Amino acid sequence: MNIGIQALGTYAPERVMTNQDFEKTLDTSDEWIVSRTGIRERRLAAEGEYTSHLAFRAVEDLIRRHGRSALDGVDLVIVATNTPDALFPATAALVQDRFGLKAGAYDLLAGCPGWGYAIAQAHAMVQSGLARRVLTIGSETLSKILDYTDRSTAVLFGDGAGAAVVGPVPAGYGFKSFVLGSDGSGGKELTLRCIADKLPDGSPIPERAYMNGREVFKFAVRVMNTATLEAIEKAGLKPEDIKYLIPHQANARIIEAARERLQLPPEQVWVNVDRYGNTSTASMPIALQEALDAGKIHNGDHILFVTFGAGLTWAASVLTWWQPD
């Protein structure tokens, strides 16, 4: 069975926070932020607007684009998120209820690569016959967990959501490979407290998101290279076969390093980190939808996804694109 993305929708909150806004409260500047990250602005959820609300809006956009029938046969909902409304109920269960789906539902926590992990799980569930179609969402309100006195994290992240229906597609199309990886020894480099105050190795877990930017940067550059090449090889392809790269939108310099390693021209890589910052699990679906809206991706194109984040974790996949005209 060939399995791919049948429908897609996204949402970003209305509020825009620019680098100039941060200049008013932090010892930073637009030049400093742009030169190190490529970020110029990001979207922030409103007060009282949470991860479930953003997920609802992304599914509503999917319905607007593809019709309510796009959800027909969906019998599983997976929400990849690092900022769930609550530990329980699952945010996925709230989505299931909102849209009246007869479906199982659970949240998936895997750092920024969560949506990459979720689409791999959705693919496996459909392939095994445990599900017919899977509504696979990445949704984040990272603004709720940041320390806005810490310029090393506050300027990096934004809020957003993306929703995809994963299910059968015609022969020759769909996902060709998945690469999932983790290195828990680096867990202390990007962390946030839940119920413990320290990791098993004794490293403290802060109450607001903490990131060792230097170490995460080195890790990201390395796995962006190795994971992309592994995914291409597993798909039975060569780098020159890749038509478009949809990378995790965390840092423009990391994206540029991956592009150069793959020898792709700039016009074959979608970059929107300047406008959204790092939206974690929502990053790749938002980028994919924008590339589609811009007419950059067509049926039969081989698309390469790659993402990295807390865990430390990473994910990459190759998808041969298809959607009905």
Q: In whole angstroms, give the CA distance from residue 102 to residue 73.
A: 9
Whether 278 is catalytic is yes
> In terms of DSSP bridges, do strands 133-140 and 302-309 run parallel, antiparallel, or are they unpaired?
unpaired
Q: From CA 40, how far away is CA 46, in angstroms rounded? A: 19
> 308 in helix, strand or coil?
strand
Q: Among 19, 82, 123, 248, which one carries the catalytic annotation? A: 248
DSSP state of 82: S
Length of the chain: 325
**What does the alpha-carbon distance between residue 248 and residue 306 come to, in Å, rounded to a whole number?**
6
Which one of 19, 53, 82, 112 is the catalytic residue?
112
Q: Is 111 left (phi over 0), alpha (psi -120 to 50) or beta?
A: left
DSSP annotation of 198 reads B
Angle, in degrees to the nearest 10, between helices 91-98 and 51-66: 40
Q: Sign of the CA dihedral 49, 50, 51, 55?
A: negative
| Active-site entry in 278, 298, 299, 302 | 278
Residues 6+ apart with CB under 8 A from 122: 76, 78, 131, 134, 136, 166
Q: Tell me the β-bridge partners of 303.
A: 244, 319
Q: Token pair 């799980």 is at which residue?
A: 121
Residue 171 · residue 186 · CB < 8 Å: no
**DSSP assignment string, 234-294:** HTT--GGG--EEEE--S-HHHHHHHHHHHT--GGGB---HHHH-B-GGGHHHHHHHHHHHT
Q: Which residues are catalytic?
A: 112, 248, 278
